[in-house]
Amino acid sequence: MKRSQQLHPLSMEHHLSLALANKAIKAARSGDEVAMQQLSKEIAADFPTRWDKHFQNEETTIFSMLEAQHDGPANMTAELRRQHDEMRKMATQLGAGDTSVLEDFGILLRDHTRMEERELFPIAEEKLTRRQLDEVLEQTQSAED
């Protein structure tokens, strides 16, 4: 799928999140408790610096910019925010050793990422100005530092 240059870094992160989602689903379905514990710890350790940072970036840029528009996808961004919050809770649970949420985390991450890529990003590319998209890119690049 062709993506605007400004959203490309976020799309690349989405590629990584889909790989993580599939890994979580596979580990949970394997029933291998050691693998599930190890992956749960990895997710919890990476979450604040990688995934939550990504979520915050989306929330403060794309979501907020679209919500400020009268014809923006407010229901979609509200649902995506809710999903971010749910994954934050699950990451905390995974960090506490609760592997029972690993499959649900993977499924939610996969479905959430697909919604952003297939539905939200095309709307953002259509409704946001070039200047706004440039701001998204600037925020994404500064979040990486």
Q: How does pLDDT run across 73-113, given as a tens digit for each residue?
A: 889 999 999 999 999 999 999 999 999 999 999 999 999 99
Domain-embedded: residue 29: yes
What lies within 8 Å, CB to CB, of 103 at 6+ separation is 24, 25, 28, 29
Distance between CA 108 and CA 84 in Å, rounded?
9
- Identify the band that residue 1 occupies on the pLDDT scale cut at 50, 70 and 90: low
Q: Is residue 105 part of a domain?
A: yes
Number of domains in the chain: 1
Is 23 a domain residue? yes
Q: Is residue 2 part of a domain?
A: no
8 Å CB contact between 102 and 24: yes
Judge if pTM exceeds 0.85. yes
Cα distances (Å, whole numbers) of residue 22 to 5, 92, 102, 128: 26, 19, 11, 31
Q: Kindly state whether residue 3 falls inside one of the protein's structural domains.
A: no
Rounded alpha-carbon distances, angstroms, from residue 133 to 24, 62, 115: 32, 8, 19
Domain that holds residue 51: 8-144
Q: Kindly state the DSSP code that residue 69 receives in the 8-state scheme.
A: S
Q: Per the domain annotation, does 99 fall within a domain?
A: yes
Closest C-alpha to 4, from 119, 125, 93, 128? 125
In a domain, 70, yes or no: yes
The CATH number assigned to the domain holding 59 equals 1.20.120.520
Closest C-alpha to 124, from 66, 84, 67, 74: 66
- Supply the pLDDT for residue 71: 81
Question: pLDDT digits over 18-52, tens only?
Answer: 999 999 999 999 999 999 999 999 999 999 999 99
Q: Is residue 56 part of a domain?
A: yes
